Amino acid sequence: MLAAHLLKLGYSIHGTSRDKELGIFANLHRLGIRHRVTLHSVDPADFGSVLGVIAHTIPDEIYNLASQSSVGLSFDQPVQTLESTIFSAHNIVDSVYRLKLNSRIYNACSSECFGNTDFPADESTPFGPRSPYAVGKAAAFWTVANYRDAHGLFACSGLLFNHDSPFRPQRFVTRKIVAGAADIAERKTDRLRIGNLDISRDFGWAPEYVEAMAMMLETDAPQDFVIATGQTNTLESFVREAFNYFGLDWKKHVDFDESLFRPIDLKCNSANPAKAKRILGWEAKSFMKDVVRLLGDGELEFRRAEKAGS
């Protein structure tokens, strides 16, 4: 989504993959931009690899979205999650520093850094990470801040709350819910197993959030920003809306499965994105019900394309 947005702004895009020769890059193909992105083989956790591609391309802007990005999976793969999250951020800022470049750096952080929020979190809210994923993101945040303060880099982090698109894999619960409801509507199954529905999240739309990422690098001075809708909803309400989209009653089809609960889960994760509106002029246009509708539209479009291609 970010690459597509930057291409619309007239950027030349260089992207990285651990092995560009073996990658499928299905999402780039779905977006119709694969031929417009130059790819390089880079391991974000390997300093020499990162240094080499930055020295070769001399980028004006660098967007670091690399890491193991599933909170749930981070409990099963804590070391890999921490390494991919911390090292990717460090290797980028240290490479720019050592090469003495003026590249502007965006680092993708997460609302998970805050942990449970008793009140809407803003940029001054203390961190309380509650998963290996969140610990890694918090460490990456402070790594970027330290290089910015110590070496004068234009480097900032976006503390993004939940943001969805049809390009999410189904291990992410929002896509799982929408795809599961679609399967039930198509009579492929009659049940969907879900874990904890009592949690509350700020649900936003990813194509809007990538606009905020680019805006952060257009400011006069580097700053960190919370990016969110400012509205919090329970996962149960998300499920209800998703099943309503397909004309279904969720209570007739959803089974609760405690085995799907995380070892630690955040009860509430709420946000105050006022700074982004004040300084960037950015605010969310799509809220939870809009996100569900857009995910449903995307799911149906994806299935139609699959059928047409088969």
3-state secondary structure of 123: coil
Distance CA 210, CA 180 (A): 27
- Reported as a single tens digit per residue, the pLDDT across 250-284 is 999 999 888 877 777 889 999 999 999 999 999 99
- Reported as a single tens digit per residue, the pLDDT across 31-74 is 999 999 999 999 999 999 999 999 999 999 999 998 877 788 88
The arithmetic mean of pLDDT across residues 176-199, rounded, is 94
Residues labelled catalytic: 110, 112, 133
pTM of the prediction? 0.94
pLDDT at 169: 81
- Reported as a single tens digit per residue, the pLDDT across 73-94 is 888 888 989 998 999 999 999 9
298, 138, 284: which is closest to 212 by C-alpha?
284
Lowest mean pLDDT among 44-48, 113-117, 138-142, 171-175: 171-175
DSSP 233-291: EEHHHHHHHHHHHTT--GGGTEEE-GGGS-SS--SB--B--HHIIIII-------HHHH
237, 259, 244: which is closest to 184 by C-alpha?
244
Q: Determine if residue 281 is left, alpha or beta; phi over 0 gives left, psi from -120 to 50 gives alpha, anything else beta.
A: left
pLDDT at 168: 86
Band the pLDDT of 163: cuts 50, 70, 90.
Answer: very high
Contacting residues for 168 by C-beta, under 8 A, at least 6 apart: 174, 175
Per-residue b/e over 60-85, b at no fewer than 16 CB within 10 Å? eebbbbbbbbbbbbbeeebebbbbbb
pLDDT at 270: 96
> Whose structure tokens read 């956790």?
45
